[in-house]
Structure 1
Amino acid sequence: MTMASESRSAAQNIHYEGQYLDLMRRIWEHGDERMDRTGVGTRAVLGAQLRFDLADGRVPLLTTKRVFWKTATREFLWFLTGDTNIRALCAQGVEIWTDWPLDRYRRETGEAISREAFSQRIVADEAFAARWGDLGPVYGKQWVDWPVYEPAGEEGLFRRRPQGINQVAQLIAGLRSNPGGRRHIVEGWNVAELDAMALPPCHKTYQFHVAGNRLSCVLYQRSCDVVLGLPFNLWGAALFVHMVAQQCDLEPGELVWMGGDTHLYLNHADLIAEQLTRVPAGAPRLTIARRPETIFDYRIEDFSVEGYHPQGHLSAPVAV
Structure 2
Amino acid sequence: MAAHDTGSDSPHWEQQYLSLMRRIWTEGDERVDRTGVGTRAIFGTQLRFDLSGNRVPLLTTKRVFWKAAAREMLWFLTGNTNIRPLLQQGVTIWSDWPLKKYREATGEDIAQDAFEQRVVDDVDFAARWGELGPVYGKQWVDWPTYEPDGQGGFRQGNGINQVQQVVDSLRSSPGSRRHIIEGWNVAELDGMALPPCHKTYQFCVADGKLTGILYQRSCDVALGLPFNLFGAALLTRMLAHQAGLEPGELVWMGGDTHLYLNHTELVEAQLEREPAGQPRLEIARKPDTIFDYRFEDFAVEDYAPQGVLRAPVAV
Identify the match of residue 15 of structure 2 among 18, 31, 42.
Answer: 18
User: Which residue of 73, 82, 85 maps to 1:85?
Assistant: 82
Aligned with 2:206 (options 200, 204, 211): 211
Match of 1:4 in 2: none
Match of 1:57 in 2: 54
Structure 1 residue 181 and structure 2 residue 176: aligned?
yes
Report Cα offsets for 1:182-232 as digits up to 9, x if no partner: 000000000000000000000000000000100001110000000000000
For the 8 Å contact 1:219–1:257, the answer to whether it is kept is yes
Distance across 1 between alignment mates of 2:201 and 2:304 = 29
Aligned to 2:129: 132
- Structure 1 Cα separation of the partners of residues 140 and 224 of structure 2: 19
For structure 2, the residue ranges without an aligned partner over 5 or more in a row are 1-7
Q: What is the correspondence of 1:241-280 to structure 2 with a 5 Å cutoff?
A: 241-280=236-275
> What TM-score, normalized by structure 2, do the two folds share?
0.97
Q: Per-residue deviation at 1:273?
A: 0.4
Report the alpha carbon displacement of residue 63 of structure 1 after superposing the two structures with TM.
Answer: 0.2
The residue type equivalent to 1:306 in the other structure is E
Say how many residue pairs are matched: 308
* Aligned mates of 1:250, 1:90 — CA distance in 2: 34
Deviations 1:234-258 (A, max 9, x none): 0000001110000000000000000
Q: 1:101 aligns with which of 74, 77, 98?
A: 98
1:12, distance to aligned residue in structure 2 (A): 11
Q: CA deviation at 1:43?
A: 0.1
Identity over the aligned pairs, expressed in percent? Answer: 71
CA contact (8 A) 1:185 1:205 kept: yes
Deviations 1:70-102 (A, max 9, x none): 000000000000000000001111011000000
- For the aligned residues, what is the CA RMSD? 1.0
Counterpart among 280, 284, 288 of residue 279 in structure 2: 284
Matching residue within 160, 163, 174 for 2:156: 160
Residue identity in the other structure for 2:118:
R
Contact conserved, 1:12 with 1:18, CA < 8 A, in 2? no
Q: TM-score w.r.t. structure 1 length? A: 0.95
Given the alignment, which residue of 43, 46, 50 partners 2:43?
46
Aligned 1:189-228 pairs, distance under 5 A: 189-228=184-223
CA distance in 1, matches of 2:194, 2:219: 13
Q: Which amino acid aligns with 1:158?
A: F
SS across alignment from 1:37: coil
